[in-house]
A and B are shown apart, each in its own frame.
Chain A
């Protein structure tokens, strides 16, 4: 990695050094032999991330505003963070709609605590933005905003018997996040970062990789307990919800007529 790399190239290359095991854990989820049954757990898990995106970004934006008078980087960051916080508004409803389509009541989602790995993932960004520098949030964004093609997702749904209507969150993000990634790289490459500012951003990205890996381990762990009424989270007590095959049948009937 030479100093001739742009900010975004260098950040992504450094994150790549750390992300091997994260990619492996994520693949365990996405290629899980029972992905169709695991998918609601994944949706619950990312609800904790999506619902906190706007508030966390807003916190970072307000911190950038507070520093702006004496900090040129904060002054440059604030408009991007405010705009991005607004763009993410309401996406939590998409996750709830997806879960609702699969027969999971939103009140049950609200009543379940997020994973501790999720609290750590998002909580670290609140801390870094407030107590270190809001530039840290850019390291987080570079890791989590990572779209896959709509074709991949549609194929994933078909292979696992999932109604495509239950993938609204992922499908919409597969379009939106491509634009977001391009905007992000353009904005990041326009910044003049000092060495310490760059370090804060990269260290935040590396920490995000670690928390996100723990998040995927949690998804797999919770799913492995989902068949046991006593050990599973309440959202997965199937007796109160239609089976996935029943949902697929309903979706198939509504699509055909």
Chain B
């Protein structure tokens, strides 16, 4: 099973998604650990591949 298929099966990525072939390739290049991490945070993957917006946190 590819990473994208795994993400769809886990419900974090919609089965009907607008991913480009490059984005699919990028997701499929993630490691098993990274896929597990994405699945385990229980969020829906939206706005994929957009650089993180300003969150305003200070460090």
Chain A residues with CB under 8 Å of chain B are 1-2, 12-24, 26-27, 29-30, 42, 46, 49-50, 53, 88, 91, 95, 141, 143-148, 152, 169-170, 173, 177, 180, 195-196, 198-200, 202-203, 206-207, 209-210, 212-213, 215-216
Contact = CB atoms under 8 A, between A and B. Distances in A.
Interface residues of B, number: 30
Nearest to B28: A1
Contacts of A180: 59
Contacts of A20: 44-48, 50
B21 interface: no
Given A1-B29, A2-B29, A18-B41, A50 B46 contact: no
B43 A212 contact: no
Q: Chain A interface secondary structure, helix, strand, loop or mixed?
A: helix
B45 A91 contact: no
B54 A21 contact: no
Nearest to A56: B59
Nearest to A12: B51
Nearest to A45: B57
Given A91-B58, A143-B52, A145-B59, 8 more contacts: A13-B49, A17-B30, A18-B45, A22-B52, A180-B59, A206-B41, A207-B41, A216-B55
B25 to A, nearest CB: 8
Contact of B34 (A19, A170, A206, A212): A206
A27 B47 CA distance: 14
B59 A24 contact: no
Contacts of B29: 1-2
A202 B34 contact: yes
Interface in B7-59: 25-27, 29-31, 33-34, 36-38, 41-59
